[in-house]
């Protein structure tokens, strides 16, 4: 075997030029069928979103009044049009863009904020721990949809506000995970060794502890991205998502679900887009867990 | 052999993995007669546990029998179906594993678990089964069997749990009992008691025993025959006395040479580690598996064709083409020049009336929690350039002492002087850089001592940068030098811990500790997680570094053999108190403290001639918050003189040569009572 599996087996003693660590880790994904399928789905959507200007047969917001007579899928409109005669293929392709930007950015924000809180709580213990865990409990016990409605109604609905809201509501979950890991990792002997050479707490948290929590964190980030995509859909459906007329999968469902009995394709295709992307991220997370990334 | 109870014929086991199938057991053949005890020894990864698991067909996922037969009472277990196997396991073949807690169901009382066995296997009624269970508990020497039956596993000590597991295995009167490292992980006194029990049970039951162990000492005392395994092959087997007196395979000799025993010390009989390291099973050259590490290897003969296990003498088989040519075995010795008397030396680290009390935080709900006294009036001192060993069973406070010395914990009473500076109350963050440089630590667990996310070079370089300062450019060179000091190749710097073996990780940890060029290195059980051959190399490394760097070593250990070998001074601890302290020769000869005596008697001796019945310590260590008022050892002491032991703390008797014993019995009287347990002359020059 020419390549070396980085997760479980140590390579032979002979030194040789090795690819960077992240690349080897990424290549390890092919050992899990589940993760590979997940990556494939996600990458297909990323490619479609990137190439939307080239691939989309129509402008996403321009109505084709002629098509209104036959909104169902046809040769001209592969997935049909919506109630305003806008091409669904184009709208779904363009709609992938905001989702694929907002969901990962929100996860990144939540991970950074949550990791810092979790590290501080788990490593410092004491009153910091008390405040952080209680604050997390409060946020987590609040009915999130109502929270979203209040915040977005107050500050207005924009991509940045959605990212901020998702960051705030997801950070407590990450904080809990990181705190739990930190509680274990702080007892490791390498942490004691770091103290023996007089490292600062910040160094120990960020350099000694955090890198060893990355496995479970990456798995969780994948899961969390999927959940965020659902929430973005929900926000769109509730009418507090991205403002119209730009295509937004949740908003597309909202606009057309009343016509479900007559033209089910108008709502079903955006729904299918949401679920396929969520399934992709979930498969990736499950696959990574199979590969042993949880520890 | 026709009278064999169990006969393995050319058994091979393979595990499938991403790199294809790997043979982990290769053509193992041996026979075990009814009632016979055979020990299988070898280092981790040699396939000994796989053999045991294969016999009862408990191979893990991906494992399969790749060839050969397992004949048990005339049937081939390798081809038996699941129903027949289920009937066999527990009734005819029973197994005792290393971790008793993992064999017992935590939500059932041990009584119910014991009673189940006869009910399921022999169809016994509940009452009859209960009677048998009680009788069995009596036999494994558990006090108050009725009460024990009602307990849950977590309410019993490790030794008691292992006795229950043994009782469970023997209650069905199996023809074959497989014990897989049954005493590993138990304290030395508990281990001695369990081994004594196994010896005793052998006399009364007629089960054959297959005893898997990495410790030649435990095997020597229990078994009739020994098989030595290396890289999945049986390389030598024969009667236990013969193997110890005249081992014919170079690997067996290597194992014996690298084994510290209570009769050896660094001046008389240095350990000889086995060269090189175990290669992974998928890298295998043709010929003898040991050839790469063998001092007697001969090109051509050893490295071309597989070496069969051939009869050497009656009952003695060796897998070595040169078995007949090797000289008679004599344990390797030093050239004789013994290091002279203890120099008068100034103490670098000394403690006075050191105490550490953990006061648990009060909880709003629940019962009040009692403070735990982990260290009590500890007085030890380590002289410059010498080794102070701190020895005792788990829970005796030796690791707490190490942590207080290192500043990871702070003392609550008394003083710790490091080179004349008081550091007892100085946590590590309050020690200045100079103090930090003076004292560094080597930790116990090779798996957690290095950060898996950092390279070896980073780990050592960071320590250099923090404690010595200096330009980044020089650090790479300094890292390489340190790696050479611990006998690792400089290109190791680019590796991450996952790519290192346990011994290599511990070497890196030593290099990291040496980065600051410390005066004192506190080593907390640095070798207890390593295989014997690796352990020998690390111990030798520590001795050499001490000589070349002039480091003072505070060596925490539970292993008296290692302590005897390495130490200049010894402190024996029990329940947070130092019971005996002094130069190693004096601590290991009478008069001893009765606890030292019990510890020494409990050490398994790798010598079948001397493995008779020994002093066995009764009872268990009291919990730390129930320390007796008088002598801490009073509850278990076999030489207890009376109420005075329970009520009055024992006086510290200062004998000649800085030897201190805390005991009510006057030292001359102790000396008269105690036989010499250690015979250094056996291996001495």
pLDDT reading at B1 higher than 50: no
Residue pair B263/B680 in contact by the 8 Å Cβ criterion:
yes
Give pLDDT, residue B614: 60
pLDDT band at B90 (very low <50, low <70, confident <90, very high): confident
The phi, psi pair for B14, rounded to 5°, reads: -130, 145
Q: Please indicate if any CB of chain B lies within 8 Å of the CB of A17.
A: no
Look at B452 and A212 and tell me if their CB atoms are within 8 Å. Answer: yes
Look at A196 and B433 and tell me if their CB atoms are within 8 Å. Answer: no
Look at A15 and B441 and tell me if their CB atoms are within 8 Å. Answer: no
Residues of chain B found within 8 Å of residue A15, distances taken between Cβ atoms = 491, 494
Residues of chain A found within 8 Å of residue B436, distances taken between Cβ atoms = 196-198
| CA–CA gap between residue B398 and residue B360 (Å, rounded) | 20
Calculate the CA B247 to chain-centre distance.
23
Q: Please indicate if any CB of chain B lies within 8 Å of the CB of A31.
A: yes
pLDDT band at B366 (very low <50, low <70, confident <90, very high): low
Interface of B with A in 278-317 (CB under 8 A): 283
pLDDT reading at B596 higher than 80: yes
Q: Which residue has the higher pLDDT, B219 or B90?
A: B219
Of the candidates B441, B450, B453, the beta carbon closest to that of A196 is on: B441
Q: Please indicate if any CB of chain A lies within 8 Å of the CB of B206.
A: no
Relative orientation angle of helices A159-185 and A214-238, to the nearest 10 degrees: 150
pLDDT reading at B375 higher than 60: yes
Q: Please indicate if any CB of chain A lies within 8 Å of the CB of B468.
A: no
Q: Report the side by side order of strands in the sheet with B652-655.
A: B439-442, B520-524, B552-557, B387-391, B569-574, B577-583, B659-662, B652-655
| CA–CA gap between residue B423 and residue B431 (Å, rounded) | 8
Q: Of B104, B200, B203, whose CA–CA distance to B151 is shortest?
A: B104
pLDDT reading at B357 higher than 80: yes
Determine how many CB atoms are found less than 10 A away from the CB of residue B20: 9
Interface of B with A in 408-447 (CB under 8 A): 408, 428-429, 431, 433, 436, 440-441, 443-445
pLDDT reading at B388 higher than 50: yes
A192 → chain B, closest CA residue: B408
A295 → chain B, closest CA residue: B452
Helix, strand or coil, per DSSP, at residue B349: strand
Per-residue pLDDT averaged across B90-110, rounded?
88
Q: Please indicate if any CB of chain B lies within 8 Å of the CB of A199.
A: yes
pLDDT band at B115 (very low <50, low <70, confident <90, very high): very high
Look at B451 and A196 and tell me if their CB atoms are within 8 Å. Answer: no
The DSSP bridge partners found for residue B207 are none
Per-residue pLDDT averaged across B297-319, rounded?
86
- State the average pLDDT for chain B: 85
Look at A193 and B441 and tell me if their CB atoms are within 8 Å. Answer: yes
Residues of chain A found within 8 Å of residue B443, distances taken between Cβ atoms = 189, 192-193
Look at A195 and B449 and tell me if their CB atoms are within 8 Å. Answer: no
pLDDT reading at B369 higher than 70: no
| CA–CA gap between residue A274 and residue B629 (Å, rounded) | 71
Point out the residues of chain A with pLDDT beneath 70.
1-19, 293-295
Per-residue pLDDT averaged across B279-300, rounded?
82
What lies within 8 Å, CB to CB, of B489 at 6+ separation is: B483
| CA–CA gap between residue B187 and residue B291 (Å, rounded) | 36
Give pLDDT, residue A15: 41
B464 → chain A, closest CA residue: A197
Q: Please indicate if any CB of chain B lies within 8 Å of the CB of A208.
A: yes
pLDDT in tens, B47-77: 888 999 999 888 877 888 988 999 998 889 8
Of the candidates A8, A198, A211, the beta carbon closest to that of B453 is on: A211
Q: How far is A171 from chain B (nearest CA, A)?
A: 24
Place of tokens 């010499």: B676
Residues of chain A found within 8 Å of residue B406, distances taken between Cβ atoms = 192, 196
Chains A, B: CB contacts within 8 A come to 68
Q: CA–CA distance from A248 to each of A263, B29, B82, B140, B414 (Å)?
A: 19, 71, 58, 73, 71
Give pLDDT, residue B470: 67
pLDDT in tens, B465-497: 888 876 667 888 899 999 998 888 888 898 889
pLDDT band at B2 (very low <50, low <70, confident <90, very high): low
Q: pLDDT above 70 covers what percent of chain B? A: 92
Residue pair B11/B68 in contact by the 8 Å Cβ criterion:
yes
Determine how many CB atoms are found less than 10 A away from the CB of residue B311: 10
| CA–CA gap between residue B381 and residue A150 (Å, rounded) | 68
Q: How far is A227 from chain B (nearest CA, A)?
A: 29
A31 → chain B, closest CA residue: B18
Instruction: Say what the pTM is.
Output: 0.84
Look at B498 and A10 and tell me if their CB atoms are within 8 Å. Answer: yes
What lies within 8 Å, CB to CB, of A214 at 6+ separation is: B453
Most confident of A99-103, B140-144, B170-174: A99-103
Relative orientation angle of helices A88-124 and A214-238, to the nearest 10 degrees: 130
Look at B467 and A10 and tell me if their CB atoms are within 8 Å. Answer: no
What count of residues does chain A have?
295
pLDDT reading at B190 higher than 90: no
Look at B428 and A12 and tell me if their CB atoms are within 8 Å. Answer: no
Look at B516 and A193 and tell me if their CB atoms are within 8 Å. Answer: no
Residues of chain A found within 8 Å of residue B428, distances taken between Cβ atoms = 195-196, 198
| CA–CA gap between residue B395 and residue A222 (Å, rounded) | 44
Give pLDDT, residue B368: 64
Residue pair B639/B673 in contact by the 8 Å Cβ criterion:
yes
Give pLDDT, residue B71: 92
Residues of chain A found within 8 Å of residue B441, distances taken between Cβ atoms = 192-193, 196
Residues of chain B found within 8 Å of residue A214, distances taken between Cβ atoms = 453
Calculate the CA B448 to chain-centre distance.
18
> What does the block give as tokens for A160?
């940045």
Q: How far is B416 from chain A (nearest CA, A)?
A: 17
Give pLDDT, residue B133: 92
Q: Please indicate if any CB of chain A lies within 8 Å of the CB of B61.
A: no
Q: CA–CA distance from B316 to each of A212, B2, B86, B154, B416 (Å)?
A: 50, 18, 34, 44, 56
Give pLDDT, residue B339: 46
pLDDT reading at B638 higher than 90: no
> What does the block give as tokens for B393?
């069973």
Q: How far is B437 from chain A (nearest CA, A)?
A: 8
Look at A193 and B436 and tell me if their CB atoms are within 8 Å. Answer: no
């Amino acid at each position: 075997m020419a390549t070396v599996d980085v997760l479980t087996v140590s390579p032979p003693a002979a030194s040789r030029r090795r690819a960077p660590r992240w690349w080897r880790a990424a290549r390890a994904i092919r050992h899990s069928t589940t993760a590979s399928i997940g990556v494939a789905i996600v990458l297909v959507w990323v490619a479609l979103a990137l190439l939307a200007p080239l691939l989309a047969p129509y402008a996403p917001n321009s109505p084709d009044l002629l098509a209104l007579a036959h909104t169902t899928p046809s040769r001209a409109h592969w997935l049909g049009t919506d109630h305003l005669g806008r091409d669904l293929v184009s709208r779904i392709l363009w709609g992938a863009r905001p989702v694929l930007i907002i969901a990962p950015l929100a996860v990144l924000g939540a991970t950074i904020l949550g990791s810092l809180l979790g590290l501080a709580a788990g490593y410092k213990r004491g009153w910091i721990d008390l405040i952080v865990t209680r604050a997390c409990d409060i946020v987590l016990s609040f009915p999130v949809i109502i929270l979203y409605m209040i915040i977005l109604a107050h500050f207005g609905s924009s991509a940045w506000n959605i990212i901020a809201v998702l960051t705030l509501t997801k950070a407590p979950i990450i904080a809990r995970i990181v705190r739990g890991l930190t509680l274990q990792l702080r007892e490791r002997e390498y942490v004691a060794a770091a103290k023996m050479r007089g490292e600062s707490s910040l160094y120990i948290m960020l350099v000694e502890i955090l890198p060893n929590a990355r496995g479970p964190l990456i798995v969780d980030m994948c899961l969390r991205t999927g959940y965020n995509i659902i929430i973005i859909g929900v926000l769109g459906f509730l009418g507090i998502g991205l403002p119209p007329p730009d295509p937004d999968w949740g908003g597309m469902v909202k606009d057309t679900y009343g016509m479900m009995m007559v033209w089910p394709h108008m709502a079903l295709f955006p729904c299918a887009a949401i679920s396929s992307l969520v399934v992709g991220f979930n498969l990736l997370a499950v696959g990574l867990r199979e590969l042993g990334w949880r520890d | 052999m026709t009278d064999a109870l169990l006969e393995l014929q050319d058994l091979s086991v393979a595990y499938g993995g991403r790199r294809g199938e790997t043979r982990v057991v290769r053509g193992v053949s041996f026979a075990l007669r009814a009632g016979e005890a055979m020990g299988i020894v070898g280092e981790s990864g040699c396939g000994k546990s796989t053999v045991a698991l294969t016999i009862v067909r408990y191979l893990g996922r991906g494992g399969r029998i790749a060839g050969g037969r397992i004949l048990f009472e005339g049937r081939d277990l390798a081809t038996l179906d699941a129903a027949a196997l289920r009937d066999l396991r527990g009734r005819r073949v029973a197994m005792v594993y290393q971790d008793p807690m993992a064999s017992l169901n935590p939500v059932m009382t041990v009584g119910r678990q014991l009673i189940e066995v006869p009910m399921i296997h022999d169809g016994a009624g509940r009452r009859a089964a209960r009677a048998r269970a009680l009788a069995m508990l009596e036999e494994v020497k558990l006090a108050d069997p009725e009460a024990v039956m009602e307990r849950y596993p977590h309410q019993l000590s490790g030794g008691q749990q292992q006795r229950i597991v043994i009782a469970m295995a023997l209650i069905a009167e199996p023809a074959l009992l497989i014990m897989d490292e049954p005493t590993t992980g138990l304290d030395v006194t508990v281990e001695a008691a369990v081994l004594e029990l196994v010896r005793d049970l052998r006399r009364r039951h007629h089960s054959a025993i297959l005893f898997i162990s990495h410790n030649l000492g435990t095997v020597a005392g229990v078994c009739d025959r020994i098989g030595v395994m290396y890289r999945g092959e049986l390389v030598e087997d024969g009667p236990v006395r013969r193997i110890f007196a005249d081992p014919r395979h170079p690997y067996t000799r290597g194992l014996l040479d690298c084994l510290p025993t209570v009769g050896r010390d660094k001046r008389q009989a240095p350990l000889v580690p086995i060269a090189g390291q175990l290669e992974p099973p998928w890298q295998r050259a043709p010929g003898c598996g040991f050839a790469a590490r063998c001092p007697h290897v001969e090109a051509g003969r050893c490295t071309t064709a597989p070496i069969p296990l051939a009869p050497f003498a009656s009952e003695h088989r060796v897998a070595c083409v040169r078995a007949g040519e090797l000289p008679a075995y004599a344990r390797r010795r030093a050239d004789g020049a013994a290091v002279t008397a203890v120099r008068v030396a100034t103490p670098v680290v000394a403690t006075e009336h050191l105490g550490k009390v953990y006061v648990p935080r009060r909880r709003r709900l629940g019962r009040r929690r009692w403070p735990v006294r982990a260290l009590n009036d500890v007085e030890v001192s380590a002289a410059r350039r010498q080794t102070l060993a701190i020895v005792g069973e788990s829970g005796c406070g030796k690791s707490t002492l190490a942590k207080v010395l290192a500043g990871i914990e702070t003392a609550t009473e008394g003083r710790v002087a490091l080179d004349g500076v008081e550091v007892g109350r100085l946590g590590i963050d309050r020690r200045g850089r100079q103090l930090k440089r003076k004292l560094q630590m080597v930790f116990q667990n090779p798996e957690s001592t290095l950060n898996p996310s950092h390279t070896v070079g980073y780990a050592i370089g960071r320590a250099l940068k923090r404690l010595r300062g200096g330009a980044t450019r020089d650090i790479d060179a300094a890292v390489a030098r340190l790696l050479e000091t611990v006998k690792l190749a400089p290109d190791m710097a680019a590796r991450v811990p996952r790519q290192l073996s346990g011994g290599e990780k511990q070497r890196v940890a030593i290099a990291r500790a040496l980065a600051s060029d410390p005066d004192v290195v506190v080593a907390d059980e640095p070798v207890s997680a390593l295989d014997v051959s690796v352990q020998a190399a690390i111990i030798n490394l520590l001795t050499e570094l001490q000589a070349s760097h002039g480091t003072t070593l505070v060596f925490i250990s539970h292993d008296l053999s290692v302590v005897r070998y390495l130490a200049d001074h010894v402190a024996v601890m029990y329940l947070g108190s130092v019971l005996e302290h002094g130069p190693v020769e004096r601590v290991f000869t009478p008069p001893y403290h009765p606890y030292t005596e019990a510890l020494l008697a409990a050490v398994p001796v790798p010598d079948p001639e001397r493995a008779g019945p020994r002093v066995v310590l009764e009872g268990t260590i009291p919990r730390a918050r129930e320390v007796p008022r008088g002598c801490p050892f009073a509850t278990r002491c076999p030489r207890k003189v009376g109420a005075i032991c329970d009520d009055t703390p024992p006086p510290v008797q200062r004998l000649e040569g800085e030897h201190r014993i805390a005991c009510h019995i006057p030292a001359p009287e102790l000396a008269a009572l105690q036989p010499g347990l250690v015979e250094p002359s056996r291996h001495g020059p």
